[in-house]
Amino acid sequence: MRTPKKALTAAFVRSTTAAGKHFDGNGLYLFVKPNGAKQWVQRINIRGKRTEMGLGSADLVPLSEAREAALENRKLARSGGDPLKAKREAQDVLTFEEAAHKVHEMNKPSWSNAKHAAQFISTLETYAFPTLGKYKVGEITTADVLAVLTPIWLTKQETARRVRQRIGTVMKWAIAQGWRQDNPAQNIEQALPKQTKAVKHRKALPYADVADCIEVVKASGAGRTTKLALEFLILTAARSGEVREAVWDEIYPDMRSPANPANSANRAEWIIPAERMKMKREHRIPLCKRAVDILHEAKELNDGGIYVFAGTKQGRPLSDMTLSKLVKELGFDVDVHGFRTSFRTWAQEKTDVSREVAEAALAHSIKDASEAAYARSDLFEKRRVLMDDWAAYLAKDAL
C-alpha cells in the first residue's frame, strides 16, 4: 500500500503525546486524547455518506495493521459494501461457549430428561470450553477440534465421541446463523487414531438366577421403596428411568381411588407417555398380579406425592444410581438394564412367543419394514400372557 510522504511512523505513534488528530493516509489518522489515550480512526465514504469508524487502540493495533484495515475498508466501500455493517456483524458472532449455552437452552425442551440436557453442557464445559470456549464460532478450525479430541480419543472413547457430536451440534447451529460455511467436527476420522475397543454390552444375569436375585434384594437392608422398585422393574422388563419416574397417573385403573383398587391383574396396566419413552412412542405394559401387589405396597409408603416410587427428597423420584447401587452392593455384577436382557433371553429360550411379541414387550422398534407393517398393533393381550408367564417363572424358580 502506498503511503503519503508525511505518513506516520511506528516510532511517532509510540512516542507522541500531542493531543489531536495525526493523519496517515487513506483517511486513517491517529487520534490522541488529552489523557494520552491513542485511537485509530478512519474517515471513509460509505454509499455516499461520509463517516468515521474506529479501528482500535493504538496500544493494541500497530500502524501496519491499522493501514491494512483502512485499505480493506476503502476497497469494500468502493465496491458498494458497508465496512461498518461488516464490523458490527463480526462483533455479533458468539464465542463457542456462548453458542453452546444458546444451543443448550434451545434444545432443552426437546430432550427426554433433565439428565441428558445436563450432560450436553457438562461434557462441553469439561472438555471443549478450555480450548474452544473463547474462540468465535466462525474462527474455529478442524485443528482446534482435534486439539480437544485427540487427548481423550483412545482413553475415553465414548466420551470423546459424544464431545465430538456435541461440538458438531453447536457448529451446525453456527452455520444456520450464517457465521461459518463448514462443520470442523465432521470428516476428521483420518486425523484420529482408530478406536479398537469393543462396545461393552450391559451385564446381565442368566434368567435362571433372576429369582434368586429378587429374594436376596427382599432380604437386604435396603429401603422398602427401593426394593419394590427393583422388583417392579424386573417384572415389567422396563427401563430404570421409566420405573423410577413412574407417576400414579400412568397406572390404570387409578389406584388412588377406593372405587378403582386395580386389584385385578387382568385389568391393570401401566401406560408410559411418549415423552418418557426412548423411542418417543406411548408404551402400554400389562401388569401381573405381583406387580399390582407391589403398587399397593408402594401406595402405603406414599405421602400423597405423584411418584409411585418416591425418593428420599420431597417431591422427587428415586435417584438414577439407587437401583444400580443396590444390586452391586449385594454382590451381583450386573447392570440394572441387564434385567431386560435376562427377560428377552428367557422369552426366546423358554416360551413359544414370536419375536415381535417379545420385542414389543421391551418397546423396541422393529427395523424391518414388512415386519413393522405386520406389527402395527402393540400385541397387548399376547404380551399380557407373556408377562404373566414371566412372573410365574420367577415365582416358581424362587421356591
Q: How far apart are CA 259 and CA 253, in angstroms?
A: 9
For residue 263, name the pLDDT band (cuts at 50, 70, 90): very low
Cα dihedral angle (260, 262, 267, 273), rounded to 10 degrees? 90
- When the candidates are 1.20.120.450, 3.40.1000.10, 1.10.443.10, 3.40.50.800, the CATH number that belongs to 207-397 is 1.10.443.10
Compute how many other C-beta atoms are within 10 angstroms of the C-beta atom of residue 321: 11
Element (H, E) at 56: strand 49-57
pLDDT tens-place string over residues 174-186: 888 778 888 999 9
Domain boundaries, the chain: 10-91, 96-191, 207-397
Q: What is the pLDDT of residue 86?
A: 65
What CATH number should be reported for the domain whose range is 96-191? 1.10.150.130
CA–CA dist 208, 360 (Å, integer): 22
How is residue 204 written as a grid cell? 446381565
User: Which of the four pLDDT bands, split at 50, 70 and 90, describes residue 254?
Assistant: low
Average pLDDT over residues 152-173: 91
CA distance 237 to 339: 7
- For residue 108, name the pLDDT band (cuts at 50, 70, 90): confident
Regarding the domain delimited by 10-91, which CATH topology (the fold level of the hierarchy) does it fall under?
Double Stranded RNA Binding Domain (3.30.160)
Does 207-397 match 10-91 at the fold level?
no
In percent, how much of the chain has pLDDT > 70?
A: 88
In sequence order, what DSSP letters do the residues of 75-129 get, joined into one string? Answer: HHHHTT--HHHHHHHHHHSPBHHHHHHHHHHHHGGGSSSHHHHHHHHHHIIIIIH
Rank 61-75, 249-263, 264-278, 362-376 by mean pLDDT and report only the highest: 61-75
Cβ(381)–Cβ(229) under 8 Å? no
State the chain's mean pLDDT as an integer.
85
* Model confidence band, residue 385 (pLDDT cutoffs 50, 70, 90): very high
Q: In whole angstroms, how far apart are CA 314 and each of 301, 302, 305? A: 13, 11, 8
User: Among 16-20, 323-327, 394-398, whose mean pLDDT is lowest?
Assistant: 394-398
